[in-house]
Structure 1
Amino acid sequence: MDINVSRRALLGSGVGIGAGLVVGTPAAAATTRPAVAVVGCTVIDATGAPPRPGMTVVARGDRITALGPSRTVKVPDDAAVVDGRRRFVIPGLTDMHVHSSGIDTIDPPLFLANGVTTVREMSGYPTLHEWRQRVTDGTLFGPRSVIASPLIDGSPSLWTGLGAPYVEVADAAQARAAVRQVAADGADFVKVYSRLSRESFTAIAQESHRLGLEFAGHCPDDVPVTVASDLGQRSFEHVFTSWYATSRHEDEIRRVLSELTVEAGDYNGWLHRVHPLELAAARGYDPQRAARVFGRLRANDSHQTPTLVMHRVLDLPGTVDQDDPRLRYIPAEVRAVWDFAMQEIYLDGRTPQEAVEHQELFGHRGRFVGALHRAGVPLLAGTDTGTSYVYPGFSLHDELELLVRAGVPALRALQAATRDAARFLGLGSGTVRQGAPADLVVLDADPLADIRNTRHIHAVVVRGELITPERRDAMLAAVAAAAATATPVPARIGCRC
Structure 2
Amino acid sequence: MKRWPETTAIAALVAVLATAVLAQDRHSGAPEPETMPPGDVGFAVRDVRVFDGTSILEGANVVVRDGLIHAVGPGAAIPEGIDVIDGNGQTLLPGFIDAHTHSWGTARADALRLGVTTELDMLGDWRRLPAIKQQRESLDATSEADLWSAGAAVTAPGGHGTQYGMEVPTLAAGDDAGAFVAARVQEGSDYIKLIVEDMAAYGIELRLPTLSPEQLSDGIAAAHQAGKLALVHVSAGEAGLDAIEAGADGLVHLFADISTGDRFVRAAVERDAFVVPTLSVLASVAGQNQGATLAADPRLGPLLTDEQKAALGSNFGRTADARVLERALAGVRKLHAAGVDILAGTDAGNPGTAHGASIHGELELLVRAGLDPVEALAAATSVPARRFGIGDRGRIAPGLRADLVLVEGNPAQDIHATRRIRSVWKNGHAVAMVRPAAAPSEAAAPSPAGTLVSDFDGGTIDARFGAGWAPTTDQMVSGTSTVAHALVANGADGSAGALQVSGEVKAGAPFPWSGVIFFPAGKPMQPLDFSDRTELVFHVRGDGRTYNAMVFSGASAQGMPSTQTFFAGESWTEVRLPLDDFGGADFTRLRGLAFTAGHPAGTFEFRIDQVEIR
Residue by residue over 1:43-101, the C-alpha shift from the partner in whole angstroms, topping out at 9 and shown as x without a partner, is: 122223xx3222100011232111122xx43322342221111111121110000111x
Letter in 2 for 1:58: V
Q: Which has the higher helix share?
A: 1
The structural deviation recorded for 1:374 is 0.6
* Residues in 2 aligned to 1:490 and 1:130: alpha-carbon distance in whole angstroms: 23
- Alpha-carbon spacing, 1:426–1:32, altered in 2? closer, same or farther (3 Å): farther
For residue 507 of structure 2, what is the aligned residue in structure 1?
none
For residue 28 of structure 2, what is the aligned residue in structure 1?
none
**Structure 2 unaligned spans of 5+:** 1-37, 197-209, 443-554, 564-581, 585-614
* Residues in 2 aligned to 1:369 and 1:221: alpha-carbon distance in whole angstroms: 15
* Residues in 2 aligned to 1:436 and 1:33: alpha-carbon distance in whole angstroms: 17
Secondary structure, counterpart of 2:334 in structure 1: helix
* Residues in 2 aligned to 1:448 and 1:320: alpha-carbon distance in whole angstroms: 23
- Alpha-carbon spacing, 1:42–1:320, altered in 2? closer, same or farther (3 Å): closer
Larger radius of gyration: 2
Is 1:302 aligned to 2:273, yes or no? yes
For residue 59 of structure 1, what is the aligned residue in structure 2?
64
For residue 292 of structure 2, what is the aligned residue in structure 1?
321
Residue by residue over 1:392-437, the C-alpha shift from the partner in whole angstroms, topping out at 9 and shown as x without a partner, is: 1011000000010111111111111111111012122622222222
The answer on whether the counterparts of 2:294 and 2:312 sit within 8 Å (CA) in structure 1 is no
The answer on whether the counterparts of 2:94 and 2:396 sit within 8 Å (CA) in structure 1 is yes
The structural deviation recorded for 1:299 is 2.4
Letter in 1 for 2:43: V
The structural deviation recorded for 1:190 is 1.2
- Alpha-carbon spacing, 1:330–1:120, altered in 2? closer, same or farther (3 Å): farther
Letter in 2 for 1:60: R
Is 1:373 aligned to 2:333, yes or no? no
- Alpha-carbon spacing, 1:136–1:32, altered in 2? closer, same or farther (3 Å): farther
For residue 147 of structure 2, what is the aligned residue in structure 1?
145
The structural deviation recorded for 1:198 is 0.6
The alignment of Structure 1 onto Structure 2 pairs a total of residues equal to 396
Query: Is 139-148 or 457-466 further displaced after alignment?
Result: 139-148
Letter in 1 for 2:182: R
**Structure 1 unaligned spans of 5+:** 1-30, 242-277
Question: Which aligned pairs between 1:239-254 and structure 2 lie closer than 5 A?
Answer: 239-240=254-255
* Residues in 1 aligned to 2:229 and 2:192: alpha-carbon distance in whole angstroms: 6
The structural deviation recorded for 1:219 is 3.4
For residue 4 of structure 1, what is the aligned residue in structure 2?
none
Letter in 2 for 1:232: G
For residue 80 of structure 1, what is the aligned residue in structure 2?
83
For residue 12 of structure 1, what is the aligned residue in structure 2?
none
Letter in 2 for 1:420: V
Secondary structure, counterpart of 2:394 in structure 1: coil
The answer on whether the counterparts of 1:328 and 1:480 sit within 8 Å (CA) in structure 2 is no
The answer on whether the counterparts of 2:91 and 2:407 sit within 8 Å (CA) in structure 1 is yes
* Residues in 2 aligned to 1:85 and 1:377: alpha-carbon distance in whole angstroms: 35
The structural deviation recorded for 1:163 is 3.6
* Residues in 2 aligned to 1:66 and 1:222: alpha-carbon distance in whole angstroms: 45
Q: Which has the higher strand share?
A: 2
The answer on whether the counterparts of 2:149 and 2:191 sit within 8 Å (CA) in structure 1 is yes
For normalisation by structure 1, the TM-score amounts to 0.71
- Alpha-carbon spacing, 1:43–1:482, altered in 2? closer, same or farther (3 Å): farther
Is 1:216 aligned to 2:231, yes or no? yes
Query: What is the aligned-residue RMSD (CA, Å)?
Result: 3.3
Is 1:451 aligned to 2:402, yes or no? no
Residue by residue over 1:266-298, the C-alpha shift from the partner in whole angstroms, topping out at 9 and shown as x without a partner, is: xxxxxxxxxxxx1xx33xx6xxxx334312212
Secondary structure, counterpart of 1:389 in structure 2: coil
Which protein, 1 or 2, shows the higher relative CO under an 8 Å CA cutoff with sep ≥ 6?
A: 1
For residue 114 of structure 1, what is the aligned residue in structure 2?
114
The structural deviation recorded for 1:174 is 4.0
- Alpha-carbon spacing, 1:112–1:370, altered in 2? closer, same or farther (3 Å): same
For residue 439 of structure 1, what is the aligned residue in structure 2?
403
Question: Which aligned pairs between 1:261-300 and structure 2 lie closer than 5 A?
Answer: 278=257, 281-282=258-259, 290-300=261-271
* Residues in 2 aligned to 1:394 and 1:318: alpha-carbon distance in whole angstroms: 14
For residue 131 of structure 2, what is the aligned residue in structure 1?
130
Letter in 2 for 1:85: N
The answer on whether the counterparts of 1:34 and 1:60 sit within 8 Å (CA) in structure 2 is yes
* Residues in 2 aligned to 1:223 and 1:364: alpha-carbon distance in whole angstroms: 15
- Alpha-carbon spacing, 1:479–1:116, altered in 2? closer, same or farther (3 Å): farther
For normalisation by structure 2, the TM-score amounts to 0.59
- Alpha-carbon spacing, 1:185–1:172, altered in 2? closer, same or farther (3 Å): same
Residue by residue over 1:422-474, the C-alpha shift from the partner in whole angstroms, topping out at 9 and shown as x without a partner, is: 1012122622222222122111110011111111111122221133xxx31x3
Query: Is 409-418 or 485-494 further displaced after alignment?
Result: 485-494
* Residues in 1 aligned to 2:558 and 2:61: alpha-carbon distance in whole angstroms: 46
Letter in 1 for 2:278: T
The answer on whether the counterparts of 1:306 and 1:380 sit within 8 Å (CA) in structure 2 is yes
Instruction: Give identity over the alignment, percent.
Output: 28
* Residues in 1 aligned to 2:247 and 2:169: alpha-carbon distance in whole angstroms: 21
* Residues in 2 aligned to 1:482 and 1:215: alpha-carbon distance in whole angstroms: 45
The answer on whether the counterparts of 2:252 and 2:277 sit within 8 Å (CA) in structure 1 is yes
Secondary structure, counterpart of 1:54 in structure 2: strand
The answer on whether the counterparts of 1:338 and 1:387 sit within 8 Å (CA) in structure 2 is no
Letter in 1 for 2:107: D
The structural deviation recorded for 1:311 is 0.7
Residue by residue over 1:192-220, the C-alpha shift from the partner in whole angstroms, topping out at 9 and shown as x without a partner, is: 10221111111211222222222213138
Residue by residue over 1:344-376, the C-alpha shift from the partner in whole angstroms, topping out at 9 and shown as x without a partner, is: xx435x5xxxx5xx2123212111111111111
